[in-house]
Structure formats: structure tokens, C-alpha cells
Amino acid sequence: MSSKKIDRQLTLELARVTERAAVAASTLIGRGNEKAADQAAVDAMRRELNTLNIDGEVVIGEGERDEAPMLYIGEKVGTGKGPKVDIALDPLEGTTLTAKGMPNALAVVAMAQGGSLLNAPDVYMDKIAIGGGYPDGLVDLDADPADNVKALAKAKGVDVELINVCVLDRPRHAEIIAKVREVGARVTLIADGDIAGVIHCTDPATGIDMYIGTGGAPEGVLAAAGLRCTGGQMQGRLVTDSEDQKARAAKMGITDFSKKYEMEEMASGDVVLSVTGVTAGSMLSGIERRGDEVWTDTALMRSSTGTIRWIKARHSHIDKFNIDD
């Protein structure tokens, strides 16, 4: 793998990509139309990606086949005149949240050197994540949730009762939730948006210490990209119980269906992640319309420097967003 880093100018330009997608999706907040909100974000993100001087390929996208109008896996983006890069994206993380006007919807895109991001199929992934500053291997995907909670509490030097575990609110997580609560720890349930759930582990202000559960594999790769920038630990394993799921994974070049991926195996090299809030949440403010202005709130992260920029932007010339009120 080349040690060459992503150009710093491209890093800043990536913020515009998620800003455009977030603003487009914001016009459909609370309108009950998930597909329309997602498509608005996709169209805006594609337009902006194609202005960047990159030879980009979508490795984590909205679909596994050449099925426009989605940003599909294998789609080429950019002008083709710049460096070869992998693109992982979720134009609207939280389509249901947006449609219902609920918190924590985001526009997310990651960029890395070509060949640096795991080509994950659109299947589920078992995940566990914690923040930075702990010994490697402190928690393990194959360990009992109670044991992981105890290990983290010991490493933090606190009682188990002070550990807060974030879990996606789904029936499939009933056993995990029960085991965490039985050992005395707290559980914070989220309706959607496990990218934010994972990244919350790295920010003490959120009160989240650990993320456990099963969510989308593409979102898992994006979350791993985020942790590479913020610091932390994460493991993931693809859920390929059916022959169809195995076939989809094999199509992406995956042969070991039971492999436990470490964070660095999901996102390696120099990684840049941009996240813009669509609806207000615990991580970012949402899109705000103030008269003839649009305000955006973006977190821009880079692994090679460990830098996180918080960009609160006021946009006075909103015609650039192609907003149809």
C-alpha cells in the first residue's frame, strides 16, 4: 500500500460534498417520503463528487449493481484527472429519521487511497466499538457482552454501572440489551444511524462508552473510517447466513465469510471522512434556513493528522444548492 496521503485541498473540498447532500435532503425533512429524501441527497452528492479532481470509484454505495440513479458500487466519480481514490458514502444516513423529522440524520462520505477500503456487500455486519486510549484487544466481538462491559469498566477505572452502551433499537438485539443490563450497565437505544452510534464512543460529551450490535456492513466500513480519524477500536464480521448473502460477498472478492475484521482491515492508509448534519442531533446541528441563508454543520476528519475540523458555515448564495422550495 502506498504511503502517499490524500491532498489537503481535497480534504477540505470533501466538506462541500456532504454539505450539498445534506441541504438537498433537508428540503424533505418531515414530509414522510424516505425515497425522495434519499434520492435528493444522492443526486446532490453525485453532482459535487464529479467536480472533484479525482479518479474515484465508489466501493461503498447505495447498490451493488449498475443501477442508476443510485450511487452504486463500482461507479466512477470525479473528473478522472486526479489521484486514484476509494469512495465510501451514505448520502443520507437516516432516511427514516429525515422522513419523520427525527434527530441524528447525516450525510456521510469517506475518501481513501485506492484499495484502502473494504469492499463490503450490502449485508448486515456484527460490530463492536469503543473509543481510544485503551489497550489493543480490550473488547472482542466474540466475547460475551457482559465480559466486554466489565473489561471496559476495569480499564476506565469505574464501576460497571457507569458504563453506557449504545445499541440499535431492533428486536434482534434483545439478548445483547438484556446481558448488558444484567451486569448493571446502562443501554442507550437509537432508532437509526449506527455510524453516529459508533463515532459517539470517541466523544466523552455523548456519554457513550461502547457500541454493540448488528447493522449494515457499508455503514460499518464508514464507521471504521471515522474511528481511524478519531481514535478507537472496532471489530466487524459480515453476516452471511444465506447462500444469497454468501454469493453477494463473493462477488465483492470476499472468500472467508466468518472473518473477524479489525478496524484497520476495513479502512487503511490515509482516510478522510466528512459528516454533515441533516437533522439536529447529538453529534451535529441540522440544516437551518435563516431567511435567505442556509447554515450547515460539518465534522471533517483525517486519519494521517488526527485532525477533526468542526465547520459551521453560513451560505448566503443559496442558489448553488439548487433548492426547490
CA 73 to chain centre: 16
Other CB atoms within 10 A of residue 53 CB: 15
Helix spans in 128-173 (H): 145-156
Residue 309 confidence (pLDDT): 95
Q: Residue 264 — φ and ψ, nearest 5°?
A: -70, -20
pLDDT tens string 136-159: 999 999 999 999 999 999 999 999
User: Other CB atoms closer than 10 Å to residue 166's CB: what's the count?
Assistant: 24
Instruction: Give the separation between CA 291 and CA 307, rounded to whole angstroms.
Output: 33
Q: How confident is the model at residue 320 (pLDDT cuts 50, 70, 90)?
A: confident
pLDDT value at position 5? 86
Please identify which residue in the block is written with the cell numbers 485506492. 114
CB count in 10 Å sphere of residue 146 = 18
Return the C-alpha torsion angle 147, 165, 237, 197, nearest 10.
-160
**Kindly report the CA angle at 271 between 269 and 277, in degrees rounded to 5?**
165
Mean pLDDT (the chain) is 93
The terminus-to-terminus CA distance of the chain in angstroms comes to 46
Mean pLDDT of 292-321: 93
Q: For position 121, what pLDDT does the model report? A: 87
Domains of the chain by start residue, with CATH: 8-117+271-321 (3.30.540.10), 124-266 (3.40.190.90)
Query: What percentage of the chain reaches a pLDDT higher than 90?
Result: 84
The whole-number pLDDT of residue 4 equals: 74
pLDDT in tens, 244-286: 999 989 988 899 999 999 999 999 999 999 999 999 998 899 9
Q: Report how far residue 255's alpha carbon sits from residue 245's, in angstroms, rounded to the nearest whole number.
A: 12
How far are the Cα atoms of 114, 120, 270, 274 from residue 83, in angstroms, in the given order? 8, 22, 13, 18
> Cell 466489565 appears where?
150
Q: Residue 202 burial (CB < 10 Å; 0-12/13-18/19+)? A: buried
Number of Cβ within a 10 Å radius of residue 62 = 23
Characterize the bridge pairing of strands 293-302 and 288-290.
antiparallel
* Dist CA 296 CA 318 (whole Å): 12
**Cell matching residue 78:** 470525479
What angle is formed at CA 13 by the lines to CA 87 and CA 300, rounded to 5 degrees? Answer: 75
Sign of the CA dihedral running 226, 228, 229, 230: positive
pLDDT band at 2 (very low <50, low <70, confident <90, very high): very low
pLDDT at 188: 97
For residue 322, name the pLDDT band (cuts at 50, 70, 90): confident
Confidence of residue 91 (pLDDT cuts 50, 70, 90): very high
pLDDT of residue 67: 54
Whether the pLDDT of residue 160 is over 60: the answer is yes
Band of the pLDDT at 189, cuts 50, 70, 90? very high
What type of residue is 150? Answer: K
Residue 82: pLDDT band with limits 50, 70, 90? very high
174 compared with 204, residue with greater pLDDT:
174
pLDDT number for residue 64: 64
- Contact between 98 and 29 under an 8 Å Cβ cutoff? The reply is yes
Strand partners, 137: none
pLDDT tens, residue by residue, 20-69? 999 999 999 999 999 999 999 999 999 999 999 999 999 999 876 545 57
In sequence order, the β-bridge partners of residue 88 are: 60, 110
Confidence of residue 1 (pLDDT cuts 50, 70, 90): very low
Q: What is the reported pLDDT for 3?
A: 55
* Contact indicator for 274, 17 with CB cutoff of 8 Å: yes
